[in-house]
Amino acid sequence: MNCSAAGLLLLEAATASVSSSKTYYVTIPELRAMGGEANTKRVRVGGDVQADSIVRGAGVVSFNLVQAEQGKQPLTLHVVYEGRDPLPDTFKDGAQALVEGKILPDNHFEAEQVQAKCASKYEAAPVGTTPAAPQPGQTSTAAAARPSGN
């Protein structure tokens, strides 16, 4: 095997490795456009957790993901999560979330995994405000992030 053939094999292996490690998700409009195909496969869907939609029950959490398109009514996706893993601390109203699972024929999404991130987690507190007290087990970084005003 010559050097160029070996180089091509290495490049193919590296490309395949990177491609297989990418995480893709669909938007709520894309999920709706999939039609019946969405009922037959496991998918990841991204959106924002709708305010006041989180309902916690015995081992079950339901909530709505919402996604606004410019000039259109926001689309919502009702999600039910019965997973073994606890939801992340960042899972709250307005958080960006990814759910993985499948859409059922009644159009609710049965999530097997939920990931959430809070874009404002490390934002500086506005000058002149007092940061909220940390919850048990959390540390407060707001004082270090707040501008000194000097």
Architecture of domain 23-117: Beta Barrel (2.40)
Residue 127's pLDDT is what?
A: 53
Say whether pTM exceeds 0.75: no
Concatenating the DSSP letter of every residue in 80-149 gives EE--SSPPPTT-STT-EEEEEEEE-TTS-EEEEEEEEE-TTTTPPPPTT-PPPPPPTT----HHHHS---
User: At residue 112, does pLDDT exceed 60?
Assistant: yes
Q: Where are the domains of the chain?
A: 23-117
- Give the whole-number percent of the chain exceeding pLDDT 90: 39
Strands 75-81 and 109-117: parallel
